[in-house]
Amino acid sequence: MAMRDALEFLEGKGEKDFRADKQLRYALERAILIMGEASKLVSEEFQQGHGGVPWRRLIRLRNSVAHNYGPETISLVWEGLRILPQAELQLKSILPNEYRNR
């Protein structure tokens, strides 16, 4: 799961690491694209029924990466990554057991 990968990539890293390591940023940006695209495929009805998951925020974060809004994109991405731990918990609570550790 892209979210799990992103959290693993971030483990032990801070904002300074994120800004300095282009490879880390690219890996995280790819994970964000995957998460945002997957979120867009979730029906509006399902999203509304599971409002604890920040669906819209994941999609907006994806849009920031995909459309690269200039130098502020790095700051937007870093701030957006802060939602991942809580989003992962929310997703795990609604996923069937066989998908929870992917």
CA separation for the pair 102, 64 (Å, rounded): 25
Distance of alpha carbon 29 from its chain centroid, rounded? 9
55-67 vs 72-81: helix axis angle to the nearest 10? 150
CA separation for the pair 92, 63 (Å, rounded): 24
At 26-79, the pLDDT tens digits run 999 999 999 999 999 999 999 999 988 999 999 999 999 999 877 788 999 999
CA separation for the pair 60, 93 (Å, rounded): 23
Q: Answer yes or no: pTM beyond 0.75.
A: yes
